[in-house]
C-alpha cells in the first residue's frame, strides 16, 4: 500500500530508495559506516559554501542525535558563555522556542519581536544592537515555518557582524533548498536537520559552525549529551559519535544527499519546490482560499491559509477526510488567527500537488463549503 503523502513541515515524504537504504544494520565503529559519516559531513559543508578547517577553510560540521530542536539546543547551551547574553529575533513559534531554551539554561536573553506576518528588518536589528549592551550572540530563524516567511539572513548577518556578536541561524526548514552562503552571510552557527529539505528521515540534526567559535565553546556546555564541542571533538578524533548514532537514519541521509546531487543540487531542488508551491497557490486561490502572508514575503517551503469564513468549515473534518484520501496537511501555529498549513517540500512533485488540490475540492463539496464565500459581516462592511 502506498504511504500517505506528507504536505507538512517535517517529517516529510521520502523516496523509496532513501527508505530502502535503511534496510541494513551498520556497526557504529565499522569502517564503511564511518566513511559515510565522513562523506555526509563533507557534503553538508559544501552545500553551505563552507570549507572545513582541515581543508584550509573556517568551518566544521557536527552531527547531533535527536530532532532538529536538539541540535539547536546543543548550540544554545554550548556556545553562549556563563556571562554571555543572547538576543533572539522572533517572528514566529520557532524563534520563541529558542528564547524558551535559553531561559531553561539560565542564559540572559532578550527577545526582539516582529509581527508574525512581517520579515525581520535588518535596520531594526542594527538599531537594537546599538541600543543594548552586553549582547554576545544573536539568533534568528531563516524560514519561520510557523507561517512560511523568509527572514533576510545575509543582511541581518552583516549588521550583526558589524556590532560583534556571534550569529546563530536556525535554517531547519530551508537548508538544502534555499541557497545559503555561510561565509557571505557571516554565519557562525547554522542548524538544520536530516528530515527537511535534504529529504532524509528523522533521527539527527547538524550544525555548521565556524571553527574558532566552536573552540570557544569548549568546556561551556550545560549538558553532557548536547555538548557541541565534545561531539565535534569526538567526530574529529575517531570519526565516531560519542553515544549510539542513528545508524539507519545516517544511511538514509547519505542516500538522500546522493539523490540531491543527482537531481541537480540545490538549484534543481529549489526549482521543484517552487513548481510545487506555484501549483498549490494557483489551485488554492482558484478555490477562494486566502493566504496569510503577502506574496512577496511567502517562501516556497510552506504556506499558511486562513480558515474559510463559511460557517460549515470544520478543520478537524477537513483534515480527517484528506487523510483518508491519502494526504496529510498540517494545523496552523499562529497566535492570532485560525489557519492551516500546506508544505511544498519533501519528495513531492507538481502532479502530487494537483492530486491534493483535486481532493481538497472534493472534500469542500462534501462539507458544502465555499472558501470564496465571505462572512455576512465582512460583506456588509467590506473595509
Binding site for ligand PLP (CB under 6 A): 9-10, 67-69, 94, 141, 145, 170, 172-173, 193
| Bond into 5 cis (ω within 30) | no
Q: How far is the CB of 304 from ligand PLP (least distance, A)?
A: 13
Helical spans, DSSP H, in the chain:
16-20, 31-47, 68-79, 93-104, 122-131, 153-163, 211-216, 228-238, 247-263, 265-287, 315-324, 350-367, 376-380
Cβ-Cβ contacts under 8 Å for 111 (sequence gap 6 or more): 87, 88, 90, 95, 96, 99
**Phi, psi for 284 (deg, rounded to 5):** -70, -40
Q: Closest approach of Cβ 245 to ligand PLP, in Å?
A: 17
Q: How far apart are CA 25 and CA 371, in angstroms?
A: 50
Least Å distance between CB 266 and ligand PLP? 18
Closer by beta carbon to ligand PLP, 139 or else 214: 139
- Complex with ligand PLP: residue 9 or 308, whichever CB lies closer: 9
Distance CA 12, CA 67 (A): 13
Q: Of the two residues 9 and 99, which places its CB atom closer to ligand PLP in the complex?
A: 9
Give the Cα-Cα-Cα angle 44, 49, 54 (nearest 5 degrees). Answer: 70
Residues of the chain by 3-state class (helix, strand, coil), percent to 5? 45, 15, 40
In sequence order, which residues have a C-beta less than 8 Å from that of residue 259 and are 6 or more positions away? 15, 17, 18, 199
* Choice between 173 and 276, CB closer to ligand PLP: 173
Q: How far is the CB of 239 from ligand PLP (least distance, A)?
A: 25
- Between 91 and 145, CB nearer to ligand PLP: 145
Nearer to ligand PLP, 170 or 352 (CB): 170
The least distance separating ligand PLP from the CB of residue 291, rounded to whole angstroms, comes to 18
Task: Write down the least CB distance from residue 150 to ligand PLP, Å.
Answer: 11
What is d(CA 265, CA 274) in angstroms, rounded to the nearest whole number? 14
Distance CA 126, CA 159 (A): 6
| Residue 30 CB, nearest approach to ligand PLP (Å) | 27
Nearest distance from C-beta of residue 60 to ligand PLP, angstroms = 21
* Residue closer to ligand PLP, measured from CB, 116 or 309: 116
The residues, any chain, with a CB within 8 Å of residue 175's CB and separated by 6 or more, are 47, 48, 142, 190, 192, 196, 197, 198
Name the grid cell of 34.
Answer: 564511518
Task: Report d(CA 188, CA 56) in Å as an integer.
Answer: 17
Q: How far is the CB of 377 from ligand PLP (least distance, A)?
A: 35
Q: Which of 3, 21, 23, 22 is nearest to 13 (CA)?
A: 3
Measured from the CB atom, the residue of 170 and 259 that comes closer to ligand PLP is 170
Q: Residue of minimal CB distance from ligand PLP?
A: 68
Number of Cβ within 10 Å of residue 38's Cβ equals 13
Of residues 68 and 371, the one with the C-beta less far from ligand PLP: 68
Which residues are 45's β-sheet partners? Answer: none
Amino acid at each position: 500500500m502506498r504511504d500517505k503523502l506528507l504536505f507538512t513541515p517535517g517529517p516529510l515524504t521520502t523516496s523509496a530508495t532513501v527508505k530502502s537504504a535503511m534496510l541494513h544494520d551498520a556497526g557504529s565503529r565499522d569502517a564503511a559506516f564511518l566513511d559515510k559519516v565522513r562523506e555526509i559531513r563533507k557534503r553538508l559543508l559544501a552545500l553551505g559554501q563552507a570549507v572545513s578547517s582541515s581543508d584550509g577553510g573556517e568551518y566544521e560540521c557536527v552531527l547531533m542525535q535527536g530532532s532538529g530542536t536538539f541540535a539547536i539546543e546543543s548550540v544554545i547551551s554550548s556556545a553562549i558563555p556563563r556571562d554571555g547574553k543572547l538576543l533572539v529575533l522572533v517572528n514566529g513559534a520557532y524563534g520563541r522556542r529558542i528564547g524558551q531554551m535559553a531561559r531553561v539554561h539560565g542564559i540572559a536573553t532578550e527577545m526582539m519581536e516582529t509581527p508574525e506576518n512581517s520579515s525581520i528588518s535588518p535596520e531594526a536589528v542594527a538599531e537594537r544592537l546599538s541600543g543594548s549592551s552586553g549582547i554576545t550572540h544573536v539568533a534568528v530563524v531563516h524560514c519561520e515555518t510557523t507561517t512560511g516567511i523568509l527572514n533576510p539572513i545575509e543582511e541581518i548577518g552583516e549588521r550583526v557582524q558589524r556590532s560583534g556578536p556571534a550569529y546563530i541561524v536556525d535554517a531547519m526548514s530551508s537548508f538544502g533548498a534555499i541557497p545559503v552562503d555561510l561565509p557571505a552571510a557571516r554565519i557562525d552557527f547554522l542548524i538544520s536537520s536530516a528530515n527537511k529539505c535534504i529529504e532524509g528521515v528523522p533521527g539527527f540534526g547538524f550544525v555548521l559552525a565556524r571553527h574558532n567559535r566552536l573552540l570557544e565553546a569548549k568546556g561551556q556546555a550545560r549538558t553532557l549529551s548536547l555538548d557541541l564541542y565534545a561531539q565535534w571533538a569526538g567526530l574529529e578524533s575517531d570519526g565516531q559519535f560519542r553515544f549510539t548514532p542513528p545508524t539507519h537514519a545516517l544511511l538514509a541521509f547519505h542516500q538522500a544527499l546522493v539523490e540531491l546531487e543527482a537531481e541537480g543540487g540545490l538549484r534543481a531542488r529549489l526549482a521543484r519546490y517552487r513548481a510545487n508551491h506555484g501549483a498549490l497557490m494557483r489551485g488554492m486561490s482558484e478555490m477562494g482560499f486566502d493566504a496569510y502572508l503577502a506574496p512577496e514575503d511567502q517562501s516556497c517551503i510552506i504556506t499558511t491559509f486562513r480558515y474559510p469564513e463559511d460557517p460549515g468549515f470544520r478543520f478537524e473534518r477537513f483534515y480527517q477526510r484528506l487523510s483518508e484520501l491519502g494526504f496529510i496537511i498540517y494545523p496552523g501555529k499562529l497566535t492570532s488567527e485560525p489557519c492551516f498549513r500546506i508544505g511544498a517540500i519533501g519528495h513531492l512533485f507538481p502532479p502530487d500537488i494537483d492530486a491534493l488540490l483535486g481532493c481538497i475540492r472534493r472534500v469542500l463539496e462534501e462539507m458544502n463549503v465555499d472558501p470564496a464565500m465571505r462572512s455576512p459581516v465582512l460583506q456588509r462592511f467590506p473595509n
